[in-house]
Structure 1
Amino acid sequence: MATTQQSSLMALEVQDGDRAVRFCEGTSFGADRSVAGELVFQTGMVGYPESITDPSYRGQILVITFPLIGNYGVPSREDRDAILKDLSAHFEAAEIHIAGLIVASYSGEEYSHHLATSSLGTWLKEQNVPAVYGVDTRALTKRIREQGSMLGRLLKQTGTRKMLALNGAVTPSGAATPTGSATPAVQNGHANGLAAPNGSNGYFGNKTKDVPVFEEIDWYNPNVRNLVADVSTSKPKVYSPDASIALHHPSGRPVRVVCVDVGLKYNQLRCLVKRGVEVEVVPWDYDFPKLAGKEYDGLFISNGPGDPALMTDTVEHIRTTMDEARIPIFGICLGHQLLARAAGADTLKMKFGNRGHNIPCTNLLSGKCYITSQNHGFAVDADTLPNDWSELFVNANDHSNEGIRHKDRPYFSVQFHPESAPGPRDTEFLFDVFISTITDVIKDSSKMRTPVKFPGGDAAANAAAKPRVNVKKVLVLGSGGLSIGQAGEFDYSGSQAIKALKEEGIYTILINPNIATIQTSKGLADKVYFLPVNADFVRKVIKLERPDAIYCTFGGQTALSVGIKLKDEFEELGVKVLGTPIDTIITTEDRELFARSMESIGAPCAKSKSANNLEEALEAVETIGYPVIIRAAYALGGLGSGFADNKEQLIDLCNKAFAASPQILIERSMKGWKEVEYEVVRDAQDNCITVCNMENFDPLGIHTGDSIVVAPS
């Protein structure tokens, strides 16, 4: 929690029809002024310096759903970018573009990052942007999701006034007050105009209390005006790549892309320039078909804020370029919507938009799913696309359009942000696709009569190569017996697995001996066996229930060990192992196999050797040298593992480890190193998702299950 001197309050009001609703009061940590705008939420866990400088947020009051904000401060505003030279190195624009910021918790001046030069609050004050913390952002986000994006206003405190507290009670002005005004009307110094008998305290001990008073300002809807004019460049400017990577036209001139700046993020510019093309950035209303000449080889249309229907001039310029059919075209976000309108399609206002860094989109050509970064409140109406255009990407959550491409021309666009900043970089390859298309057209102008080619193969062929498993009944193995508070990750992951299976209409059976868990709650799994998770009981349940498949990866070491023990019986029992194959589990559990696997892919590992008895352990340490860490294979919670600085400690550890495991790994000690883990999910179609990264607070060597972990780091 921030610790600031003389912190003032700030009220948040939302528009509900014709009336204003006081949602809450919180503590101000930005500029001391009131502001009104469109209230939107964003689900990203990191990246607030990039997010709040994204021009697409112009005129919007941003609610960040991740609870802790400001913990890594803000980098220098003076550092210049190595590629773009005179532009900022750490932000997406030269200024903050949000109208205001709303967060749950703010870390104040207690930030920590090697690049940080100030707190977030200091920067917001520099930029005259108000902000408030202490807000129930979960409740606020639910309200926006239910009612749709709404107008809001942050009202600064202008002072206090006396309010009568009847019988010692006064309406609270706490930071998470629900709907309704937190400060009732006060008339003549008394609440609701009630006069206090015999003085302000009254006969029954009624007292007055100071309550905050807030400034009043009008509502403001940013979507009714052309916000792009506020954020676009005022004149054309050229950015050139380093000579060592520059691409050249056969005529000798640089390969050039005209970029229409309708709210350009700096990282889009970086992604183009670092791929060797010269980029001319032009204003939103620049008539590039007439003024840019013919010596450019591609058209890029950036992201930006507001309603694309207001951008009639830009749409007409794009349409003219499309009709000329001379160069490839690529659009992102607002640029995607403008390209669609130029093609003849319509756009629409979404209920609450998509804003975050974890939004799945499916490529309809390959069937592959990508996790994307997004920030938009408008979308292309795919039903209005002309016949010579087709959908390219679709949102896997709400099924809204996320990309289009021309069937016969090298024109394409995406709604999400392949340049990330912040967010995943899974789709940055689209810039490579664009540049490759440009160079192909330069070499052969007939390529202007063919659509853009994308990597990933054909959806039908991909599906045939990795057919979907058809199962109707699945057995899920939970964890072994737990104490309260232990192994919450297994309970969570297993619960999510059961929910996903039920969404697919699959009957689920769970073996889990723990009564006080989410997994075993009534109504989650179709049938629960409160039995120990061991080979004997699992075998009996399989024979009784006859499931089609089994999951061994949601119960920690206990379930993994059962999977390994029954590996050779599953086929005879008629059960298919879903998720991670047993052979892969064995590779991760067998310390020697795991170390060798890491070596085979070039992943650096500490010098190590496995041992199956004390003699082998003593022999191994002679080549590795002290200090070493002993890791027991197939063991629960790091049981039997530890550090040894000498032979006596090694012997003691080995005796303990071999009592719990048939094998140990002797590894060069890395005590004192920082330990960071990445949680990665991969499916049969090679879709990979980094769920999060985790930083272990405790020194390396403490088992993660016993360590304090910060996620994301």
Structure 2
Amino acid sequence: MPCGVAVGAGPVPCGPGMGSLSHGAPLALGCSRPTVPRGDDQARHLRGTQVFSWAGDPMPSHAHPPPPQWFESSKIHVAALVVGECSETPSHWSASRSLDQWLKEQNIPGLEGVDTRALTKKIREKGTLLGKLVPDGTPEKSLAFEDPNKRHLVQEVSLKTPCVFNPGGSLRITAVDCGLKYNQVRCLCERGAAVTVVPWDHPLDTADFDGLFISNGPGDPQLCQETVSNLRRVLDAPQPKPIFGICLGHQLLSLALGARTYKMKYGNRGHNQPCLHEDTRRCFITAQNHGFAVEVGSLPPGWAPLFTNANDGSNEGLVHEHKPFFSIQFHPEHRAGPTDLEGLFDVFMEVVRDLQSRDGSARTGGCGDAARPRKVLILGSGGLSIGQAGEFDYSGSQAIKALKEENIQTVLINPNIATVQTSKGLADKVYFLPITPEYVTQVIRNERPDGVLLTFGGQTALNCGVELTKAGVLERYHVRVLGTPVTSIEMTEDRKVFVEKMEEIGEHVAPSEAAASLEQAQAAAESLGYPVLVRSAYALGGLGSGFANNREELVALVSQAFTHTSQVLVDKSLKGWKEIEYEVVRDAYNNCVTVCNMENLDPLGIHTGESIVVAPSQTLNDTEYFMLRRTAVKVVQHLGIVGECNIQFALNPESEQYYIIEVNARLSRSSALASKATGYPLAYVAAKLALGIPLPLLRNSVTNSTTANFEPSLDYCVVKIPRWDLSKFLRVSTKIGSSMKSVGEVMAIGRNFEEAFQKALRMLSTPHLAPLNPLARQELETPTDKRIFVLAAALRDGYSIERLYKLTKIDRWFLHKMKNITDHAVLLESYREEQSTMPPAVLKRAKQLGFSDKQVALAVLR
């Protein structure tokens, strides 16, 4: 699905409570989720285990059933939903019904086909607005605007009588329900708490609990004076009990201690809000949805800010200097949303256990402020080859610009004169020499740089840097590797070491074995079981790789691979799984963001450079997206990568099972695509981080005011399609697979997948879509460089989505989108005889689907 900008037309309640919110709640604007997940009874495998246990069978009469795994509330709490596009056909494995059906079941009106970007701009200009939906032709005044802030929303959504979750828990936590989310209960119960949820105005007695939790909720905190009074009595108790507040709970705690709150012009709403921890100055990405904030200047003595918004400077948390009280404005537990700070629930439970105040920080030693280099050597990628485009020229040029801004002298080695980075006036000095240890050593001896960048020249520069380190050249001439250390690079390149490092943090790579001889490779294949993937270690673009279905094919592939490398990797085949990528940025102080998430349209088995790639991912649900994001951050932090890297996952299309395919600790073709897709200058930022500059101190290159420590959200879709010139090479197979043959790629941007997809296809030489023949049917199973056009012909020929999925393993969502295009082409052709009868809506839909004027003309006039 296109990841839309979610905005509230009106003061949007922070979160639905366990009770019900009546109609008249604000509208929710944005792009839709493609499907509604199954109920809890059909999704017990989520997170692998069921965390709620009950002492006895049947469940105690006073205990509340565990909250459903897939939902955060008992019902939908918006008055209406407005989206840019709604997926008509559910395709996710967990889906039981569509979003449209779910809204109808709960009597919630929905509206699609609205330009949500235009609405967002209007809200930016005016501030938070009230909104209403009326049928076309209805007098506007027939429905009055309603201001939710004039209603006591907390009273409406809070439960009416107390209930207990997980009564067998070891610690007693009372949770004040001001609009509680189910995941807050889950987070507490998972950590061993017996959670008693009480209404918003329930009297609080410190004898009844070991710790007090105050939930999020909707509306103005000033309306909850009963809660504030109850909290004030708990704060003043002679034996203080730990208190933890979230969102509205943070604001209510602030009012109880005597601080003030104020209404924000827009509020902070989204999954990508950066928050600085005051003690460590580390920055975390958080989920937020609030329209009120706490005035820091009104805090009484003994209280201090805990977190601050890195963009607007608003308060994001408070902590008492001596007593066990703290609160936060953001949602560490939000679903959907990043879970970087879910550990604050651990902090709270630890405080409850030992009644000692903790600041909740994730302290890291980080890297100290190293001396700023005066002269830096940059290794380019050398001449272009099959498997490369201009991505390394792009990244190297950005790095040089970043270093020059810091007044650092740059020396570049690159034998390719046909590049931007070797242009006069960019680098201070350029050596047109091969990227080999011998030549690079000579340059180091002559120039005496005090730093070297290895991650901007692809695999060629990485391999050269590793050899220079092993030979002791860098140590001999006192040259410091900037950015990712060589040890971290070697961890990602040596498969055996990489597997061990992943096991240390409980992650798994695809079953794989390294082999240094043909005999070892044969033994590995027998152990793993055919089919297997054979690939060269330390190689770019899957050079010499391929799938072996039997011993004979294995021998041929391994023999070829050993002509390029001394080690081959034999992997268990995961052909047909989804391939998902994340571009991750980390600085020397452990600040980490995932700048872009991408999904390969083609399933695993086709090299990512040979595949059509879509950003952001379109077929993942929120659980899958943030599960992989959490893993990506954990892996990059564990490996100690500094700068930018790419991590690739294999995801089972029928479950949440995944494997890590590999980590590229360098700028890559995917990095260049991510930079262009998001507008985030990855190479530029990576060069700055290599100098030891903290990520939160860097500015967003678009706004020049907000921090670069953020994750872009896209309300558009980006599609990359490789370009092949196989017709120029005699006797070269047109089949595409795990080894790259493409010589370039095109990228297109559109408001939806169909538009971006058609734009990208037009930049390639498009053949006539002839009727399907027996040979073309084979191309669906064994892809070639023309497969996408064969797919189009198959759809026109009447192939069903299910049949095409079985043949290609391309996700049904993408196949449905392609069918939208071919179906509309057929509709346009139906007006050939009477063009004047074509309704304007048909032409408008054609433009929305990305048809060019020429395409429409050919369809109608041919």
TM-score (norm 2): 0.59
Rg (Cα) greater in structure? 1
Structure 1 residue 632: deviation in Å?
0.5
SS at match of 2:136: strand
Work out the CA distance in 1 between the residues paired with 2:394 and 2:248: 37
Residue aligning to 2:28? 62
Matches within 5 A, 1:405-416: 405-416=319-330
| Contact in 2 for aligned 1:389/1:405 (Cα 8 Å) | yes
Structure 1 residue corresponding to 2:201, chosen from 275, 285, 299: 285
Residue aligning to 1:272? 188
Work out the CA distance in 2 between the residues paired with 1:548 and 1:228: 61
Residue aligning to 1:85? 65
SS at match of 2:606: coil
Cα deviation digits, residues 606-657 of structure 1 (max 9, x gap): 5544344546545655665644321101211101011223343223213432
Residue aligning to 1:657? 561
Residue aligning to 1:182? none
Work out the CA distance in 2 between the residues paired with 1:589 and 1:424: 29
Work out the CA distance in 1 between the residues paired with 2:406 and 2:312: 17
Structure 1 residue corresponding to 2:362, chosen from 456, 465, 486: 456
Equivalent pairs: percent with the same residue?
50
Residue aligning to 1:666? 570
- When structure 1 is superposed on structure 2, of 343-352 and 603-612 the one drifting more is 603-612
Residue aligning to 1:96? 76
Structure 1 residue 60: deviation in Å?
3.2
Structure 1 residue 335: deviation in Å?
0.6
Residue aligning to 1:263? 179
| Alignment of 1:701 onto 2:586 | no
Matches within 5 A, 1:546-585: 549-567=451-469, 568-571=472-475, 575-585=479-489
Work out the CA distance in 2 between the residues paired with 1:407 and 1:93: 35
- When structure 1 is superposed on structure 2, of 86-95 and 544-553 the one drifting more is 544-553
| Contact in 1 for aligned 2:270/2:289 (Cα 8 Å) | yes
Q: Residue 283 and residue 507 in structure 1: after superposition, are their counterparts in 2 closer, same or farther (change >3 A)?
A: farther
Residue aligning to 1:75? 38
Work out the CA distance in 2 between the residues paired with 1:455 and 1:39: 31
Structure 1 residue 546: deviation in Å?
7.2
Structure 1 residue 334: deviation in Å?
0.7
| Contact in 1 for aligned 2:20/2:156 (Cα 8 Å) | no
Residue aligning to 2:657? none
| Alignment of 1:644 onto 2:610 | no
Structure 1 residue 273: deviation in Å?
3.0
| Alignment of 1:313 onto 2:217 | no
Work out the CA distance in 2 between the residues paired with 1:405 and 1:505: 41
| Contact in 2 for aligned 1:475/1:508 (Cα 8 Å) | yes
Structure 1 residue 333: deviation in Å?
0.4
Cα deviation digits, residues 645-675 of structure 1 (max 9, x gap): 3343223213432333332123444444554
Work out the CA distance in 1 between the residues paired with 2:279 and 2:387: 45
- When structure 1 is superposed on structure 2, of 73-82 and 300-309 the one drifting more is 73-82
- When structure 1 is superposed on structure 2, of 674-683 and 646-655 the one drifting more is 674-683
Cα deviation digits, residues 136-185 of structure 1 (max 9, x gap): 434543554455333344443238xxxxxxxxxxxxxxxxxxxxxxxxxx
Q: Residue 473 and residue 389 in structure 1: after superposition, are their counterparts in 2 closer, same or farther (change >3 A)?
A: farther
SS at match of 2:137: strand
Q: Residue 58 and residue 705 in structure 1: after superposition, are their counterparts in 2 closer, same or farther (change >3 A)?
A: farther
| Alignment of 1:226 onto 2:152 | yes
Residue aligning to 1:295? 208
SS at match of 2:484: coil
Cα deviation digits, residues 491-512 of structure 1 (max 9, x gap): 8877987898789787888888
Work out the CA distance in 1 between the residues paired with 2:379 and 2:536: 23
Structure 1 residue 367: deviation in Å?
3.6
Work out the CA distance in 1 between the residues paired with 2:325 and 2:22: 23
SS at match of 2:208: coil
Q: Residue 544 and residue 667 in structure 1: after superposition, are their counterparts in 2 closer, same or farther (change >3 A)?
A: same
Higher RCO (CA 8 Å, separation ≥ 6 residues): 2
SS at match of 2:236: helix
RMSD: 4.6
Matches within 5 A, 1:36-435: 37-38=9-10, 59-64=25-30, 69-76=32-39, 83=52, 85=65, 87-108=67-88, 110-145=89-124, 147-158=126-137, 217-233=143-159, 235-241=160-166, 243=168, 246-247=169-170, 255-286=171-202, 288-289=203-204, 294-325=207-238, 326-435=240-349
| Contact in 2 for aligned 1:533/1:558 (Cα 8 Å) | no
| Contact in 2 for aligned 1:698/1:708 (Cα 8 Å) | yes
Q: Residue 261 and residue 647 in structure 1: after superposition, are their counterparts in 2 closer, same or farther (change >3 A)?
A: closer
Work out the CA distance in 2 between the residues paired with 1:473 and 1:135: 53
Work out the CA distance in 2 between the residues paired with 1:596 and 1:323: 52
Which residue identity does 2:86 align to in structure 1?
Answer: Y
Q: Residue 638 and residue 468 in structure 1: after superposition, are their counterparts in 2 closer, same or farther (change >3 A)?
A: same
Structure 1 residue 313: deviation in Å?
2.9
- When structure 1 is superposed on structure 2, of 591-600 and 697-706 the one drifting more is 591-600
Cα deviation digits, residues 267-295 of structure 1 (max 9, x gap): 11222233333333222233x14xx5832
SS at match of 1:150: coil
Work out the CA distance in 2 between the residues paired with 1:502 and 1:339: 48
SS at match of 1:704: coil
Work out the CA distance in 1 between the residues paired with 2:143 and 2:383: 58
Structure 1 residue 381: deviation in Å?
1.6
| Structure 2: segments with no counterpart, 5+ residues | 45-49, 53-63, 621-862
Q: Residue 437 and residue 284 in structure 1: after superposition, are their counterparts in 2 closer, same or farther (change >3 A)?
A: same
Structure 1 residue 364: deviation in Å?
2.1
Structure 1 residue 70: deviation in Å?
3.0
Work out the CA distance in 2 between the residues paired with 1:96 and 1:617: 55
| Contact in 2 for aligned 1:58/1:227 (Cα 8 Å) | no
SS at match of 1:348: strand
Q: Residue 669 and residue 122 in structure 1: after superposition, are their counterparts in 2 closer, same or farther (change >3 A)?
A: closer
Structure 1 residue 689: deviation in Å?
4.5
Q: Residue 346 and residue 585 in structure 1: after superposition, are their counterparts in 2 closer, same or farther (change >3 A)?
A: same
| Contact in 1 for aligned 2:18/2:179 (Cα 8 Å) | no
Residue aligning to 1:206? none
Work out the CA distance in 2 between the residues paired with 1:540 and 1:338: 66
Cα deviation digits, residues 183-241 of structure 1 (max 9, x gap): xxxxxxxxxxxxxxxxxxxxxxxxxxxxxx978644443334432222222x2312131
Which residue identity does 1:263 align to in structure 2?
Answer: G
Work out the CA distance in 1 between the residues paired with 2:183 and 2:197: 13
Structure 1 residue 417: deviation in Å?
0.9
Work out the CA distance in 1 between the residues paired with 2:269 and 2:568: 47
| Alignment of 1:534 onto 2:534 | no
SS at match of 2:534: strand
Residue aligning to 2:490? 586
| Contact in 1 for aligned 2:532/2:572 (Cα 8 Å) | yes
TM-score (norm 1): 0.70
SS at match of 2:588: coil
Name the structure where helix makes up a greater proportion of residues: 2
Q: Residue 427 and residue 701 in structure 1: after superposition, are their counterparts in 2 closer, same or farther (change >3 A)?
A: same
| Contact in 2 for aligned 1:240/1:279 (Cα 8 Å) | yes
The count of residues paired between Structure 1 and Structure 2 equals 592
